[in-house]
Amino acid sequence: MHKLFSNLVIWSESQYSHLPWREKRTLYKTLVSEIMLQQTTVGTVLNHFERFLVEYPTIFDLAQASEEQVCISWKGLGYYRRARSLRSVAIQVVEEFEGKIPTNLNDLLKLKGIGPYTANAIVSIGADKKALAVDANLERVLSRFYGVDVEKGPKLQKKLWNDFEHKKIMAEMDGMSARALNEAMMDLGRIVCQSRKASCTLCPLKPGCKAFQSGDPLQFPVESKNKISENLFIKLLRVVVTNKKKILVYQKSAKEWLAGQWELPTFVLETNDQKLKQYPTIKIKQNFEKLPYLKTGITKYDIHNYILEMSLEEFEKLTKRIDVDYIFKTNDMKLNMSTATQKVFKTLAKNSQVC
Ligand code: SF4
């Protein structure tokens, strides 16, 4: 098996060593890139990583920045919870570890916002010490290679970590670079061993792969029986009220999705998700399907945004029973606007109806 994994590392290094977070590797670069790469593609991170590092060259710079400033720098990467969490990790590292990012799992897991995956990634990829960074790519590659018949998700991740600890899998790491091996498996999962397509003929691990030998590699990892419906939709009303170059917005509270961001008054018009609580529900008289419209999406949702411009008086009539603090703010690029709000203004500008 050792030979197979060496070939995998050679394959990966020949193609992907140019990624900026892999050049002149530091623990800080690893921390930033690992958090950026969660839920965001390599292509998108490539457009933001170096600029972020110029703005915050050290963990001390990041710890000193305000939350709003870091969220603005995070624009384009989405899932802003990660930006806030990265900043709070930086503060904790500065306050409790004199600015030195720990390189052992116990200390890393004490950092609020660092879960088992990121902790293992910092140890293995950042410090090049023995650990297994089981992200979605490693989960897939390892479950296929070893033919692990356990339902995808936390159970499977736990099983892989446990088997690794007991040297039932990846025992080859003992004589190899943990960094190179983890990165190579991530590359393989991203490029060759993808969730809906396994290009086994191109794969350096093929000669030892159980999933390939089974003739149906895509049966691994085993899908959860409770898989949530992928067809959830939300029809939202985004209301635009302007007053002397100012717009009416509200700020998401710390406990809410998109915490800290400014957003246009937003209401649910229709949804098939009964559990949705992020926005108040509202009924309007006009046929909203005829309003200017844009589509956005997050994870499992299709979001249809209908844009309605109105006066402050009309807005107050419409929302008299809604308990949200709306205020007028300058529509300034420096304001930490939600991505959807920015898109609404782009759509309106395109239609020449405002701005
Ligand atoms: S041989 Fe196929 S299933 Fe196995 S790891 Fe490679 S691409 Fe994935």
pLDDT of residue 355: 30
Q: How far apart are CA 66 and CA 296, in angstroms?
A: 28
Please, are residues 325 and 245 in contact by the beta-carbon 8 Å criterion?
Answer: no
Q: Which atom of ligand 1 is nearest to the CA of 199?
A: 7
Active site residues: 34
Q: Which of 193, 197, 220 to mutate to test the pocket of ligand 1 (most atoms within 8 A of CB)?
A: 193
Distance 10 CA to ligand 1 centre (A): 16
Question: Which 3-state string (H, E, C) describes the chain?
Answer: CHHHHHHHHHHHHHHHCCCCCCCCCCHHHHHHHHHHHCCCCHHHHHHHHHHHHHHCCCHHHHHHCCHHHHHHHCCCCCCCHHHHHHHHHHHHHHHHHCCCCCCCHHHHCCCCCCCHHHHHHHHHHHCCCCCCCCCHHHHHHHHHHCCCCCECCHHHHHHHHHHHHCCCCCHHHHHCCHHHHHHHHHHHHHHCECCCCECHHHCCCHHHCHHHHHCCHHHCCECCCCCCCCCEEEEEEEEECEECCEEEEEECCCCCCCCCCEECCEEEEEECCCCCCCCCECCCCCCHHHCCEEEEEECCEEEEEEEEECCHHHHHHHCCCCCCCCEEEECCCCCCECHHHHHHHHHHHHCCCCC
Q: pLDDT (tens digit, 9 = 90+) per residue, 74-116?
A: 988 888 889 999 999 999 999 999 999 999 999 999 998 899 9
pLDDT of residue 98: 96
pLDDT of residue 351: 59
Q: Which of 8, 11, 212, 218 to mutate to test the pocket of ligand 1 (most atoms within 8 A of CB)?
A: 212
- Domain range summary for the chain, segments of one domain joined by +: 2-219, 232-350
Neighbours of 187 (CB within 10 A): 22
Q: Which atom of ligand 1 is nearest to the CA of 209?
A: 4
pLDDT of residue 332: 66
Neighbours of 202 (CB within 10 A): 12
C-alpha pair distances (Å), 47 with each of 75, 188, 191: 11, 22, 19
Please, are residues 15 and 26 in contact by the beta-carbon 8 Å criterion?
Answer: no
Pick 2-219's CATH classification: 1.10.340.30, 3.40.50.300, 3.90.650.10, 3.40.50.2300: 1.10.340.30
pLDDT of residue 150: 93
Q: Which atom of ligand 1 is nearest to the CA of 211?
A: 3
Query: Is 138 near ligand 1, meaning CB less than 6 Å away?
Result: no
Distance 134 CA to ligand 1 centre (A): 17
Please, are residues 79 and 40 in contact by the beta-carbon 8 Å criterion?
Answer: yes
What is this structure's pTM? 0.68
Q: In b/e form, how buried is each residue of 252-269, taking b as 16+ CB within 10 angstroms? A: beeeeebebbbbbbbbbb
The stretches in the chain having pLDDT less than 70 are 17, 225-230, 298-300, 332-335, 350-355
Query: Is 156 near ligand 1, meaning CB less than 6 Å away?
Result: no
pLDDT of residue 352: 46
Q: How far apart are CA 22 and CA 187, in angstroms?
A: 13
Q: For ligand 1, atom 2, name the residue with the nearest CA.
A: 200
pLDDT of residue 354: 36
Distance 150 CA to ligand 1 centre (A): 17
Neighbours of 9 (CB within 10 A): 19
Length, in residues, of the chain: 355
Distance 206 CA to ligand 1 centre (A): 6
Domain 232-350 architecture: Alpha-Beta Complex (3.90)
Please, are residues 184 and 193 in contact by the beta-carbon 8 Å criterion?
Answer: no
Q: Which atom of ligand 1 is nearest to the CA of 205?
A: 6
Q: Which atom of ligand 1 is nearest to the CA of 140?
A: 8
Distance 17 CA to ligand 1 centre (A): 22
Residue with structure tokens 């897939």? 140
Distance 173 CA to ligand 1 centre (A): 19
Q: pLDDT (tens digit, 9 = 90+) per residue, 234-290?
A: 899 999 998 888 889 998 887 777 778 889 999 999 988 877 778 889 888 878 888
Q: For ligand 1, atom 1, name the residue with the nearest CA.
A: 206
Angle formed by the axes of helices 42-55 and 27-37, nearest 10°: 140
From the list 141, 121, 123, the residue with the least C-alpha distance to 185 is: 141
